[in-house]
Amino acid sequence: GAGVSQSPRYKVAKRGQDVALRCDPISGHVSLFWYQQALGQGPEFLTYFQNEAQLDKSGLPSDRFFAERPEGSVSTLKIQRTQQEDSAVYLCASSLGVYRGYGGNQPQHFGDGTRLSIL
Amino acid sequence: TQLLEQSPQFLSIQEGENLTVYCNSSSVFSSLQWYRQEPGEGPVLLVTVVTGGEVKKLKRLTFQFGDARKDSSLHITAAQPGDTGLYLCAGEGFGNEKLTFGTGTRLTIIP
């Protein structure tokens, strides 16, 4: 389809393992966002890219979290030495990215997320 | 830490009743968005309100942005089982695209 695609949909890993989560944005979308959603809560911002440039990574919880978008399209969120508190749904969103100033940005379109469980 | 507080956190009502969900913050936002999220899916945008005091209607849903651009409400008239889901408000800051989401309201409509 033409929406944001995330893979895998489910990931189970043992504590201490490294994981990589993939996001395929909508074709032509300039901006790409990663959010973390704990069970029963609203998503929390992790990081965002405009093309290949990572403009804001203020939401990354620790230096174990790393995101990249080397060619300005597909993005990967990597978590090293996973811990149980990393268990959550990781959502990716993309947008046309043109900041319209006062009056709101282009809307973000979300994927269905990757549910990560750390045992 | 989530800067947008939603109330109530959970709401379960009978089909046909009316309800209001509130989204409050001490921060000012350039605009505020409302999303609905189904289990196993990503949030889907319902509406964006931009101007302080603005009211938008989407069929049985009415959205209002507070005059001071710090709060918003979602009112549903004659709720239907299809309205069941997690409702999220999200604020846009000034000069960036980052969204700050609310704590969420899980709504259940009983047939």
What does the pLDDT read at residue A97? 82
What does the pLDDT read at residue A113? 97
What does the pLDDT read at residue B2? 54
- Is B97–A31 a contact, with Cβ atoms under 8 angstroms apart? yes
Q: Please tell me the total count of domains within chain B.
A: 1
Which chain B positions have a beta carbon within 8 Å of A108's beta carbon? 45, 97, 99
Is a pLDDT exceeding 70 seen at residue A102? no
CB-based burial, A20-51: b 16+ in 10 Å, e otherwise: ebebbbbeebbbbbbbbbeeebbbbbbbbbbe
According to DSSP, the residues that pair with B109 across neighbouring strands are: B13
Mean pLDDT of all residues in chain A? 93
- State how far the Cα of A110 lies from the Cα of B19, in Å rounded to an integer: 27
What does the pLDDT read at residue B77? 97
Query: Higher pLDDT residue, B84 or B98?
Result: B84
The nearest CA of chain B is from the CA of A58 a distance in Å of 10
- Domain-wise residue ranges, chain A: 5-118
Tens of pLDDT along B20-36?
A: 999 999 999 989 999 99
CB B84 within 8 A of CB B108: yes
What does the pLDDT read at residue A40? 85
Which chain B positions have a beta carbon within 8 Å of A47's beta carbon? none
Give the range of the structural domain holding residue B82, as residue numbers without chain letter: 5-110
- CATH number, domain containing residue B45: 2.60.40.10
Q: What is the DSSP string of A58-93?
A: TT--STTEEEE-TTSS-EEEEE-S--GGG-EEEEEE
CB B32 within 8 A of CB B88: no
* pLDDT class of A100 with cuts at 50, 70, 90: low
- A5-118 in CATH: which number? 2.60.40.10
User: What's the gap between Cα A66 and its chain centre?
Assistant: 10
* pLDDT class of A104 with cuts at 50, 70, 90: low
Burial class (CB in 10 A: 0-12, 13-18, 19+), B41: middle
Tens of pLDDT along A26-69?
A: 999 999 999 999 998 999 999 999 999 999 999 999 999 999 99
Interface with A, mutate which of B10, B92, B99, B103 (most A CBs under 10 A): B99
* pLDDT class of A1 with cuts at 50, 70, 90: low
What does the pLDDT read at residue B94? 81
Task: Show the CA angle centred on residue B107, arms to residues A111 and B103, nearest 5°.
Answer: 60
Between A42, A95, A107, which is nearest B88 by CB? Answer: A42
Is a pLDDT exceeding 60 seen at residue B1? no
Is a pLDDT exceeding 60 seen at residue A9? yes
